[in-house]
Structure 1
Amino acid sequence: MDFWASFWNIIWFFVSAFIFIAYLIALFSIITDLFRDRELSGGLKALWFIALIFVSLPTALIYLIVRGKGMAERSRKNIEESTRAAEDYIRTVAQVSPSDEIAKAKALHESGAITAEEYEHLKARALGTSSASVPQQ
């Protein structure tokens, strides 16, 4: 009997820990959204924050019900901006001109690392033309 009592105590501990961690994640998401919102005045932000500290569970539920849709929109917008910034950065860093690619392919062809057919394929790809239009030898 003692084994089953301790077994259910362990299960209860894990369920409680899961609920607590989920609540903390929700709370941090709410606080992040609160400071991300540009439409909300500083006084209202402070009011929401104080309410979250003193009456946290009901305030968190009210915030999610009242401002949940806007919270999702702000999060989506932030993700899109981050993705766009990362893609722009990657483009600026990794940008290689077609002439550079052709020069590299020519050097590989001259060294014997690739065949003439592979060189033509790389050249066509660098120029943006279809590899089907390149004549096969």
Structure 2
Amino acid sequence: MSQGVYLAYDFPLLSTFWAMLWFFLWILWFILLFRIVVDIFRDDVLSGWAKAGWLVFVIILPFLGVLVYVIARGKNMGRREIEQARAQQDAFDSYVRETAGTGSARPSHADELTKLSRLKESGSITDEEFRRAKELILTDSGPAGARKQPESATPGTGV
């Protein structure tokens, strides 16, 4: 019972290398299989029956199915991936522009009040003019609110 177990003798270095290589190839195989399944569903050119056919072929005969799919449709897999990445980037960019407010043409009340206070500090307007302009901005009758006209109102008629 005092005899120790020497795993290095039972599992030599070359066997460890081959086991790690097969494990690595097995992981790569599953990654490729999942990418092909995702590509089948991503492709807008294929009909529903064609997608089902490819999916059955890849699942029932995985090695042959993946090999045939990569040969037949592998060239466009990269294009579809790039198109999806660009679409996601464009959507993200438009979201950032929209959220940051750079796409807004209408200035906010805070921006208008800041400009107004700078004009007052520089001496371009008097205290009375500042007060009236501030009231107009805060009651939405000023430049920011002037763009909010009802659709039924006709400009210049007062109605």
Question: Normalising by the residue count of structure 2, what TM-score does the alignment of the two structures yield?
Answer: 0.57
Report Cα offsets for 1:32-75 as digits up to 9, x if no partner: 01011111111111111111111101110110111011211111
Question: Unmatched 5+ residue regions in structure 1?
Answer: 108-137
Residue 41, structure 1, aligned to residue 47, structure 2: yes
Say which of 73, 76, 80 aligns to 1:70: 76
Alignment-derived partner of residue 19 in structure 1: 25
- What is the alpha-carbon distance in structure 2 between the residues aligned to residue 5 and residue 14 of structure 1? 12
2:77 counterpart letter in structure 1: M
Question: Unmatched 5+ residue regions in structure 2?
Answer: 1-7, 119-159
- Aligned-partner SS, 1:39: coil
How many Å apart are 1:80 and its aligned residue? 0.4
- Structure exhibiting the larger radius of gyration computed from Cα positions: 2
- What is the alpha-carbon distance in structure 2 between the residues aligned to residue 30 and residue 59 of structure 1? 10
Question: Normalising by the residue count of structure 1, what TM-score does the alignment of the two structures yield?
Answer: 0.66
Alignment-derived partner of residue 132 in structure 2: none
1:46 counterpart letter in structure 2: A
Structure having the higher helix fraction is 1
Alignment-derived partner of residue 57 in structure 1: 63
2:21 counterpart letter in structure 1: V
How many Å apart are 1:4 and its aligned residue? 8.1
Alignment-derived partner of residue 28 in structure 1: 34
Say which of 78, 92, 98 aligns to 1:92: 98
- What is the alpha-carbon distance in structure 2 between the residues aligned to residue 69 and residue 84 of structure 1? 24
Report Cα offsets for 1:60-102 as digits up to 9, x if no partner: 01101110112111111000000000011011112258995xx
1:56 counterpart letter in structure 2: P
Q: Percent identity?
A: 32
